[in-house]
Amino acid sequence: MNTPTAIAPGEITGLVLAGGRGSRMGGVDKGLQNFNGTPLALHALMRLQPQVGELMINANRNLSAYESFGVPVWPDGLADYAGPLAGFLTGLERCETPYLLTVPCDTPLFPFDLAERLGEALLVQDAEIAMVNAPEAAAEADGASALRPQPVFCLLRATLLESLVRFTQEGGRKIDRWTARHRTALVPFDRPGDAPDAFFNANTLAELHALEGQRR
């Protein structure tokens, strides 16, 4: 029997991470800031929707505003803004499908084939985690740009819950320290035709406004 090389969207729960402090944006709730007239978290949900079967939001403030987007909203179980890994933990605890796909709320141009490409790499490499590896800045004139892992963009096997519970109970908070414990496929997003700024994130209002011009 051939090994399957695609994960069906219905097997994946998409999780929008919107649980941060937004300190570089002046402490606002980033997921509720508008991007071309749509709150960032809702924008991310709409981009994920065709790629996955279920959707969830991880947020720690203004929960009723997030609930108005029509999908379940879960705050961190860990206290005091423990970082995005706290969001992974919350997502894995609530995930009822075999896979969880995480995306941050502040990266509105992420690709429409994100789940497909991470899923294929995870299966082909028999990995437990597939993580985006993307250009970190606009390409140089020669078209080259170094790739950097984007740890908040991960496709995870839901069976990793136990491992993450253990890691966070030990006090672990860094995504890459945890993913290093597992077979992780790094998936390049620099094919011809890939938007070089697909993984640019808006940490300040100026960055958010700069991204707003780019409608994709």
**Residues at the site binding ligand GTP, with contacts judged by CB under 6 A:** 17-24, 30, 58, 76, 81-84, 86-87, 104-106, 152, 201, 203
Please check if 76 is assigned to a binding site: yes
Q: Please report how close the Cβ of residue 158 comes to ligand GTP at its closest, in angstroms.
A: 18
CB nearer to Mg ion: give 104 or 111.
104
Alpha-carbon span 66 to 57, nearest angstrom: 8
Q: How far is the CB of 106 from ligand GTP (least distance, A)?
A: 5
Question: Does 19 count as an annotated binding residue?
Answer: yes
- In the complex, which residue's CB is closest to ligand GTP? 20
| Position 203 contacts Mg ion (CB under 5 A) | yes
Cα–Cα distance measured from residue 31 to residue 10, given in angstroms and rounded to the nearest whole number: 25
Residue 201 touches Mg ion, criterion: CB under 5 A: yes
Q: Which residue of 76, 106, 120, 128 would you call a contact of Mg ion, by CB under 5 A? A: 106
Q: What are phi and psi of 88, to 5 degrees?
A: -60, -45
Cβ of residue 203: shortest distance to Mg ion, in angstroms?
5
Q: List the beta strands (DSSP E) in 60-140.
A: 73-74, 99-104, 129-135
Name which of 101 and 120 has its Cβ closer to ligand GTP: 101
CB nearer to Mg ion: give 106 or 120. Answer: 106
CA distances from 139 to 110, 166, 190, 204 (A): 17, 40, 10, 22
Rounded distance, CA 162 to CA 48, Å? 26
Quote the least distance from Cβ 188 to ligand GTP, whole Å. 21
Q: Please give the annotated binding residues for Mg(2+), written as ranges.
A: 106
Contacts to Mg ion by CB under 5 A: 106, 201, 203
